[in-house]
Amino acid sequence: MRLKTYFVESVEKAMLRALGEFGDEAMLVHSKRTSPEMRHLGEYEVVFASPHNGLSGPPPVVQPPPFPERALVELLARKRPGRATDSMARSHQSSATIGEEAGRIRRELRALARMMDAPPTEKLSRPEEIRGVLDQLYGFLAEREVQSKHIWDLTRQVGIDLMRGAASSYQARSSVLLNELLVRGLIPNSSPAKEHLQVVALVGPPGAGKTTTIAKLAVREGLAKGRPLQVLDFDDQRIGGGDQLQTICALLGVPYQRLSSPEALVEVLGRSHTPGLILIDTPGLSRQDSTELAVMSLGLGASATIERHLVLPCTLRFAELTRFWNTFRVCHPTHLLLTRADESLCFGPTWSLAKSINLPLSWMATGRRIPESLVEATPELLVDLLNVGYSSIEQKSVVSLQSEVQTATGAMASVGHSPTRSMFSL
């Protein structure tokens, strides 16, 4: 047998060279990418084998074993009846199987050579068409600032699914497959049972919109649903930090209490046993406020039932979102709440963060109006924003909330207020 190694730019080139040198007897032994130090010789190292040594004339014929070996086999067969005979039979059967496999490989090599010489067919051009579609998907996701590692995973999976499916309408199928993967990459929120007490704390950087979102949640999840409601305020870090929220709660007729320590929060939660909703506002902190973050984490970790929603604006880039995520990980967030969706032009960073941190989406703030500008942040909604932007879904979101606004208006009227359709605009 003769072995020869080819260093080439592609395995196909090695096959053609081996067929030209060995003819139909060429057999592929193995192929692999070259090591970095051997890369100058070629991208791939491919080894082919030929059953004979390449000299002129027909390949040598394998002769039967000499007499001594045959005699030894017969002697063993006489001492152990059946075993040698079975072994010889298996040996002949194995030889026949190897011969059949070699023949099959030779036929496949000949077919491959004919395919490479023939004009492109639908089956051969299919990978090129898929590659073109994947290039478009890559550009689409990169334009929306989805992270490169996520773009690679998404396009790779779409390409695999396209290769497995029927050869038709790659463009339309790729869009459907991509949307399915984008939605599957996010975790939806699970609504808590109304018969239990729900405690929701909002944490996040300064200016993320926590206080305004607390007011929206008070109307949307409390008054509109007829649930007992209480607002707690941890925001004593800035001058007048709780005045705005206290004023809103007074207008809504909602109980408001300012807390000064984690112990006060434990005491309040210890007295709350009836089903309802408790909303907790916290100060905006940064990673320089390590002491305050530790104290707040201690207070919010006093009860395992507290939902800690990390509030982040959709207007931030991925590096900024990741920095805030790392800052507030000490608070052990359980949900991701998004704000300023109406101000964002690009939702790829937001999707990549939600995919990376694996937190359920809870709500999304889409403006300053209370309570219209707060919607449930479903994976489908975030993918729609990624695809077409906020302006294309704004009207649909507002219409879906009209019934809830009317319910909240009736609840407000029952406590002595007569709000307009848009109750507040902060």
With beta carbons less than 8 A apart as the criterion, state whether 211 and 415 touch. Answer: no
Query: Which of 131, 121, 138, 122 is CA-nearest to residue 162?
Result: 131
- In the chain, the amino acid numbered 111 is A
Identify the pLDDT of residue 396. 52
- Report helix, strand or coil for 207: coil
Q: What is the model's pLDDT at position 89?
A: 52
pLDDT of residue 371: 81
Task: For residue range 307-334, list pLDDT tens digits in order.
Answer: 999 999 999 999 999 999 999 998 899 9
The more confidently predicted of residues 136 and 194 is 136
Average pLDDT over residues 407-414: 52
- Does a cis peptide bond (omega within 30 degrees of 0) precede residue 371? yes
pLDDT score at 412: 52
- In order, the DSSP letters of 215-255 are HHHIIIIIGGGT--EEEEE---SSTTTTHHHHHHHHHHT--
Has this prediction a pTM greater than 0.85? no
Q: Which CATH number fits domain 197-425: 3.40.50.300, 3.30.300.210, 3.30.565.60, 3.30.365.10?
A: 3.40.50.300
Q: How far apart are CA 249 and CA 243, in angstroms?
A: 10
Gap between the Cα atoms of 235 and 94, Å rounded:
80
Q: What is the average pLDDT across 27-55?
A: 78
Could you tell me the pLDDT band of residue 113, with boundaries at 50, 70 and 90? Answer: low
Quote the DSSP letter at residue 360.
B
399 or 383, which is more confident = 383
Burial label for 91, CB within 10 Å (0-12, 13-18, 19+), is: exposed
Closest by alpha carbon to 178, among 189, 162, 194?
162
Residues 406/380, Cβ–Cβ less than 8 Å: no
Order of strands, sheet of 2-8, starting from the edge strand that comes earlier in the sequence: 2-8, 44-50, 27-33
Angle at 308 between CA 154 and CA 228, to 5 degrees: 125
pLDDT number for residue 172: 83
For the chain, which residues make up each domain, given as ranges? 1-54+93-118, 122-184, 197-425
Mean pLDDT of 217-239: 83
Distance CA 204, CA 228 (A): 26
| Residue 28: strand pairing partners | 48
How many CB atoms are closer than 10 A to CB 295?
15
- More confident position, 106 or 335: 335
**Cα–Cα dist 359/187, whole Å:** 6
* CB 69 within 8 Å of CB 61: no
Q: Which of 78-87, 183-192, 251-260, 334-343 has the highest mean pLDDT?
A: 334-343
Answer whether 276's CB lies under 8 Å from 198's CB: yes
Residue bearing the bigger pLDDT, 73 or 177: 177
- Identity of residue 325: W
136, pLDDT greater than 80: yes
| Degrees to nearest 5, angle at CA 12 with 10 and 17 | 105
Q: What is the mean pLDDT of residues 361-371?
A: 90
Q: How confident is the model at residue 84 (pLDDT cuts 50, 70, 90)?
A: very low
Strand partners, 200: 279, 307
Averaged pLDDT of the chain: 77
- Provide the residue type at 211 as one letter: T
How many helices (H) and strands (E) in the chain? 15, 13
Please state which of the ranges 184-198, 219-233, 333-347 shows the lowest mean pLDDT. Answer: 184-198
Q: What angle do the packed helices 122-143 and 148-164 form, to 10 degrees?
A: 150
Instruction: Measure the CA angle with vertex 400, ends 396 and 401; round to 5°.
Output: 125
More confident: 100 or 147:
147
Residue 193, pLDDT score: 56
pLDDT, position 392: 62
What are the tens digits of pLDDT across the range 159-200? 888 887 766 678 888 999 999 999 999 999 876 555 577 899
Question: What confidence score (pLDDT) does residue 71 get?
Answer: 42
Question: Strands 361-365 and 374-376, how do they pair?
Answer: antiparallel
Reduced to 3 states, what is the DSSP secondary structure of residue 397?
A: helix
Helix residue ranges per DSSP H, 301-401: 318-328, 348-357, 379-388, 394-400
pLDDT over threshold 80, residue 419: no
Predicted local distance difference test score (pLDDT) of residue 335:
95
